Amino acid sequence: MKLNISKTFVNYGIKRKIFEDFPIEFEESKITSIVAPFKTGKSSLLKILAGIEQNDEKLEPIQNSFLITSEPMSFPWMNLKQTLLFANKNLDKNKIIEIAKIVGLEGYENHYPHNKSLGYRFRIALATAIAKNSKLILIDESFQNMEQITKYELYQLLIDLNKKNNIGFIVGTSNLHEAILLSDEIILLKNIPHKTYNKFIVNHSSQKIEERIKSEAFISTNQKLINVINQEDLNQNLNFIL
């Protein structure tokens, strides 16, 4: 998919252009990471793609897409079953059980998310996206406050959903290692206003996170990213999590 993004914010009469004729291209069936630090336009880009925020010029939102924010949304007064029926009233009991199993919440259909972990709420958000028949799920820094073991479990879940259920993902992140572990391709944003980007293809030989961490693809892609960040002086203006 190819899109052209332009976005200008106005604050107290002062205009600030974040994206200027930004030509983004990605494959909807793959896992793509958009890498940039906090407060540099990742969230706005994802919201524009999802149709939640307006592009400066008219842009049709991506069909069958779903955005998971940095604080995954859940309704504390609704259990998982009720949440899925709210997303899609046509689900039957078997489909609800199937979706719960897919996201690792089998047996939790009647549990409420109140005071549950971010990982639990993220799984609910994923289940909601699946209930709505979403084919592309956009994720906005949702893993940043999770424990490492929870992150890795969810990374594996995304990879499995992509390969087994043909669901594509666009992951906004400032964490280079997260992007490499998850992605088939990485889009590295440059300085504001964003006009161009660097793209990296990650040739993973395994679908298992524990094997990807030690792989040549991980090591070589990490070095390529760091080299570009240093060569283009991105590190002086932007703070990436390495």
Can you give the three-state secondary structure of 82-124, one letter per residue? HHHHHHCCCCCHHHHHHHHHHCCCCCCCCCCCCCCCHHHHHHH
> Which 8-state DSSP code applies to residue 204?
-
- The helix/strand/coil state of 178 is helix
Element containing residue 230 per DSSP (H, E): helix 216-231
Q: Which structural domains are found in the chain, ordered by start? A: 2-73+133-237 (3.40.50.300)
Supply the pLDDT for residue 236. Answer: 47
Each residue's pLDDT, cut to its tens digit, for the chain (242 residues) gives: 777 777 777 777 777 787 888 888 888 899 999 998 777 788 889 998 888 877 777 777 688 899 998 877 778 889 999 999 999 999 999 999 999 999 999 999 998 877 678 899 999 999 999 999 999 999 999 998 899 999 999 999 999 999 999 999 999 999 999 999 999 999 998 877 778 888 999 999 999 999 999 999 999 999 999 998 888 766 544 455 65
CA distance 103 to 187: 27
Supply the pLDDT for residue 237. Answer: 47
Q: Are 119 and 150 in contact (CB under 8 A)?
A: yes
User: What are 11's strand-pairing partners?
Assistant: 14
Tokens at residue 176, please?
């280079």
The answer, as to whether pTM is greater than 0.95, is: no
Element containing residue 35 per DSSP (H, E): strand 31-35
